[in-house]
Chain A
Amino acid sequence: MIPPSFDYAAPTTVDEAVGVLRDAGEDAKVIAGGQSLIPLLRLRFAAPSTLVDLGGIAELRQVREDGDALVIGAMVTHASVLRDPLINEHLPLLVSATETVADRQVRHRGTFAGSLAHADPAGDLPAVALVLGASMEVVGPSGRRVVPASEFFVDYLTSVVAPDEVLVAVRVPKQGSWVGAYEKFNRVAQGWALVGVAAMVRRDNGSIAEARVGLTNMGSTPLRATATEQALAGADSREAIGAAAARVAEGTRPSDDLLGSADYRRHLAGVLTRRAVASLS
């Protein structure tokens, strides 16, 4: 791989990273695991002036418990997510979804927070973060702010993180009594999802009391399927779940590309939603 030339910075604190970004201007890019940025550099689709590598900031590698939530640092890799005891105990949905991300090599480099910051609607974890009710801690020259996942994703490959800001951690509420499943449909094992469905339900006396459904690759951002979520509340049968799932593509605008047509994606979303929710009964 021979990318276009760039300056390289390896800060050891978040403040230092923010300083470098501020000085380097708009064309600087943050690199965590490089899961998405390295391929872009290799193809010369991206030509950043400076790469700011977060790999040297020790505090970003931590996973810590904070009351009813876990706080996952920006440099926590997918592989770390898979073996972290706290995450396994409190966020089993994140674990099962992470198992489907790319391949083993990529999972050892790529990070949870990086895949959120990249804001690719075909990425698996943004939809999962949505249904988990995650919020993002972003640090910039004017300080720290916290953005809920529902406001974090702006457009295709665009999040609210400004060029001089760094996503430093993701705060994820413990699942508690919620159970979740991620149904991913791809052409080959290591490929992007044509469609993915992250579903969580909370049950009450055999029926679904509350549901959250997040969609991967059904629009320019990860989406919540609100019509389906509402229809699932109170669903107590296979038929009711099926009827709710059938509405999952309402209001979505999936892409029409080589890997699948928009029609087919809408159809798949319904099937996958039904399967994901049904698997939670």
Chain B
Amino acid sequence: MTITESPGTEIGSPRRRKEDARLITGRTTWTENVTLPGMLHLAILRSPMAHARITSIDVSPALETKGVVAAFSGRDVADVQGSLPCAWPVTEDMVHPDRPPIAVDEVRFMGEAVAVVAARSRAAALDAIAAIEVDYEALPVVLDMEQAIAEGADLVHADKGTNKGYTWVFDSAEAGTGGDAGAAIDDAEVVIRRRYVQQRLIPAFMEPRSVVVDPTGDVYTMWSATQIPHILRFLLAVVTGTPEHKVRVIAPDVGGGFGGKLQVTPEELIAFIAAKRLGKPVKYTESRSESLVSAHHGRDVIQDLELAARRDGTVTGLRVKLLANMGAYMGLVGPGVPILGAFMYNAIYKFPAYRFECSGIFTNTTITDAYRGAGRPEATYAIERIMDELAVELGLDPLEVRERNWINADEFPFTTVCGLAYDSGDYAKATDRAKELFGYDELRQEQQARRDTGDSVQLGIGISTYTEMCGLAPSRVLGALRYGAGGWETASVRMLPTGRVEVVTGTSPHGQGHETAWSQIVADQLGVGFDDIEVLHGDTRTSYKGLDTYGSRSLAVGGVALYNACQKVIDKAKPIAAHMLECDPADLEFTGGQFRVRGNPDGGRTLADCALAVFAAHDLPDGIEPTLDADAVYDPVNFSFPHGTHLCATEVDTETGRVTIRKYVAVDDIGKVINPLIVEGQVHGGIAQGIAQALFEEAVYDADGNLMTGTFVDYTLPTAADLPTLVTDRTESPAPDHPLGTKGVGEAGTIASTPAVVNAIVDALRPMGVNDIAMPCTPERVWRAIQGGAA
């Protein structure tokens, strides 16, 4: 595909986002703001136990509470509530236990729904759930993944006979994409073996999940704070047996997701069931505490790596074995999350042999599923950490080891050991720029000086040279991975008679600024004003087709559909303009929003002229359909592969263990950029979340399976005050498969930053014998590592 230079000035302009005024003030349609006549409010009683049999449940006391209209338990709706869907059964024999929205006989994690109250006010509903009487009989709690798969382990699902949900393998020798990793390890001059643990994280989106269901009228309408209105509509129809055309889903303005709203939730099903039962609109909005305990979590993976190399630093093979905590059930795409990472452990390196094996394990915890980066941060962390270990083992500079192994700019497109064709990139260029901005050599000198003087504050330098696969995804590839849907995206461009434009996108923004970026693209392609474009999204009546927003796909895939739809509009308008100008369409060119006869700068016709002409339709050429509107569906031919180099300098207070980020430089290559301001925001936010994993956040369960980090007092989410100033820059390797040359940017910062930070901390403390610290690297853990205790 040829990358076209933008015909206008909008693309590349750091426009402030047109949606921000309403989003920042909150004067908009959040789901919680939706109020319907006769609406009832739901409250959900949740299990205080991690694993227990429900021996009895009595909702009748709740019914006696003032304002309560209905109360029901899982038993009351057992025959109609169905089971929550999993769209990614990664293996043919994957264990997929039923997951009723409301537990019927057994609860399997703390926070699982056990009963529902519908009342005339939210306050009444909350008061009433306290009155419901439930007796639980405790069952053995399964928490540790290795114990869960040991002989004779207690079971999360007794009827399944195992806690192992699946084992998925990729082997480059078997796939024919590379050599035998086992042989490479056996023959290696150096083998580095490490275990890394990706702690459990909580996505912590700003807007809690909220759902409204209106069963009145001819269709069921659901408003939901979701990332995936289209997938939700499809699955809601399938799970509830409701004809799809009788289901309308609206994702109005949505306040963040980070993958945390890439789910079909129990709460959505519960609201649907309640609305259907009661015949009235219902609303449910979770509290933050409910969100932390019951909305899906992320990460929670144990990674065992064996890296084979020659003494000169050339990597010859990698074997990776994962245990991935699924939680108590399979989430919507949860089983596939580690699989998305499987193709990224080789990262930017061209070693020839690779084997990956992942087992998904059930435990009595909240389900895990997509969280910003989904599989790729885990992979990048592991490889970037172990590349540092290799450098130390060989006495080489960590940058030198990377350079020795990375794919050179002249080798693109490059087919990796996983069989992926990396599209474009220049790792050396990004690294050079990062080093320059960072002052790499000066900081290394300072580090040495602090070591020499035995300074109580030690300096460390961390490197992360990452790539990622995004722009999810070619449908055929998804099919081959047994994912339940395709990866195409849609766009429609509607020319209104006055020359204004409505754009309908199948992506579903929840903070990404699509309305702004899409307007910039259309403005340049069609030569219309930025403010003359309205971008519509998220309502399955308006945007009836789409695959929503996740995996840095919206611009990378949806942007192509949008570009193609614009070209179709121009193609449709051309014969009409030619008719008006009384010339041959072949003689026309379209620039700056005008059709002109080639070589004649005067007397052109704008797209608006053509729009008005088709509206009137009084004088059109024979056989012309009186519309300029166009739809496009695009199925990507490849993923896109952004990359970059992040450098982090940390100061470690060896007396307290406190880590302070002294300098952070991110040079990202995401191809061409539509809106640099939005990109900057994505990079900053992404890095913040990656730093959060490195230093701050961890969801912790006690031995009984109680979530100990159930509020933001204990789940220590950093704020701006805890984060450093970021120095950012970009290199530009245009995406060859995208007409605008863009790659995805939504996850890059998160993927890159975690290993950069931890590498820096370990680097600071190497002279003290420290070679690993478990995440998050809390002051106490760092201090203990320095003391030589357990990291």
Contact = CB atoms under 8 A, between A and B. Distances in A.
A190 B656 CA distance: 19
Given A5-B123, A43-B711, A188 B696 contact: yes
A5 B718 contact: no
B123 A268 contact: no
Contacts of B718: 188-189
Interface in A190-224: 190-192
Interface string A1-38: 01011000000000000000000000000000000000
B709 interface: yes
B778 A187 contact: yes
A108 interface: no
A274 to B, nearest CB: 9
B561 to A, nearest CB: 41
B599 to A, nearest CB: 64
A271 interface: yes
Contacts of B714: 258-259
Interface in B100-140: 122-123, 126-127
B656 A2 contact: no
Contacts, number: 50
B780 A260 contact: yes
Contacts of A190: 719, 721
B779 interface: yes
Nearest to B787: A267
Interface string B499-526: 0000000000000000000000000000
A271 B716 contact: no
Contact of A271 (B655, B708, B713): B655
Nearest to A274: B655
Given A2-B123, A258-B700, A187 B779 contact: yes
Q: Interface SS of chain A: helix, strand, loop or mixed?
A: loop
B122 to A, nearest CB: 6
B64 interface: no
Contacts of B717: 188
Contact of A189 (B126, B127, B719, B778): B719
B371 interface: no
B709 A258 contact: yes
A5 B127 contact: yes
B127 A271 contact: no
Interface residues of B, number: 27
Given A185-B656, A190-B719, A271-B655, A261 B123 contact: no
A264 interface: yes
A188 B719 contact: yes
B242 interface: no
Interface in A218-270: 258-261, 264, 267-268
Q: Which of A42, A103, A258: most chain B Cβ within 10 A? A: A258
B716 A188 contact: yes
Q: What range describes how many residues of A lie at the interface?
A: 20 to 34
A267 B708 contact: no
Contacts of A259: 714, 716
B722 A189 contact: yes
A260 B781 CA distance: 9
B783 interface: yes
Nearest to A268: B656
Contacts of B708: 258
Interface string A114-131: 000000000000000000
Nearest to B125: A2
Interface string B681-711: 0000000000000001000100000001101
Q: Which of B122, B126, B655, B700: most chain A Cβ within 10 A? A: B655
A188 B127 CA distance: 34
Q: Which of A188, A191, A260, A267: most chain B Cβ within 10 A? A: A188
A245 to B, nearest CB: 11
B261 to A, nearest CB: 22
Nearest to A191: B716
Contacts of A261: 780
B29 interface: no
Nearest to B696: A188
Contacts of A44: 126
Contacts of A189: 718-719, 721-722
A45 to B, nearest CB: 11
Contacts of A260: 780
A188 B691 CA distance: 13
Interface in B739-791: 778-780, 783-784
A188 B158 CA distance: 41
Contact of B722 (A2, A185, A188, A258): A188
Nearest to A185: B656
9 contacts: A2-B122, A2-B126, A44-B126, A103-B721, A185-B779, A188-B719, A259-B714, A259-B716, A261-B780
Given A42-B287, A264-B784, 6 more contacts: A185-B779, A188-B719, A189-B718, A258-B709, A261-B780, A267-B783
Across the A-B interface, the 8 shortest Cβ-Cβ residue pairs: A189-B721, A264-B780, A187-B716, A188-B716, A2-B123, A271-B655, A188-B722, A189-B722
Interface of A: 2, 4-5, 42-44, 103, 185, 187-192, 258-261, 264, 267-268, 271
